[in-house]
Amino acid sequence: MESDGDSATDREDSLTRVPAKRKRYKQKFRKEWLLNKEYSDWLRKDNRDLSKAVCNVCNTSFSAEISVIKRHKEGTKHVNNLKRCSASTSKKQQSIVSVFKSMPTNEKQLVKTSEIKLAAFVAEHKVSHNVMNHLADLLPKLFPDSQIAKDIRLKRTKVQAVINNCIGETEKRKLDQ
């Protein structure tokens, strides 16, 4: 049999022992979330930290966990920013649509082709996309007799979209062949 002294020290050791900390699993950003219409318009992954997500509307970074993403989506700040953002975006889209509806079809095609060529120039020569904010305003002044130069609507964000979605996708398909 054990003596009382030994059992007391055993009990004392078990009380003072600190349990080992369990490593908490860090959820990584999942691309499937971008396929969900609830999140696809405003959610993106944080390129600096794979366990983070970023809200494009609020410009905030948070943990890439579905519960955190849902909580952010329902938050007051996000809802207000989303309302503000969608109102300004719809006005811009309506003005662009009205410009293109008033143009003859062949002129629309020439404007689109010109915008794609300008975007390709920017990408090929590694020109800053911010240059397009000024160049788009400068073209009609340089070529006052050109209706195409007046109708070009190509700023920083659109040039990025054209490079990624048009030129980039076409080049990707060429590589896959």
- Using an 8 Å Cβ cutoff, are 67 and 74 in contact? no
Domain membership of residue 154 (yes or no) is yes
Q: In degrees, to the nearest 5, what angle opens at C-alpha 135 toward C-alphas 130 and 141?
A: 155
**Residue 110 and residue 93 in one domain:** no
**Tens-digit pLDDT profile for residues 62-97:** 998 999 999 999 988 888 888 877 665 555 555 555
Residue pLDDT, tens place only, 7-23: 555 555 556 666 667 77
Is the whole-model pTM more than 0.75? no
Task: Kindly tell me if the per-residue pLDDT of 165 is higher than 90.
Answer: no
Q: Please indicate, yes or no, if residue 4 is contained in any of the structural domains.
A: no
105 pLDDT more than 80: no
Query: How many independent structural domains does the chain possess?
Result: 2
Q: Is the pLDDT of residue 38 over 80?
A: yes
* 66 and 126 both lie in a single domain: no
- Token output for 100: 């293109």
Residue 165's Cβ-count burial label (10 Å; 0-12, 13-18, 19+) is exposed
pLDDT value at residue 12 = 58
Residue 94 belongs to what domain range? 26-99
For 59, residues 6+ apart whose C-beta sits below 8 A from its C-beta are: none
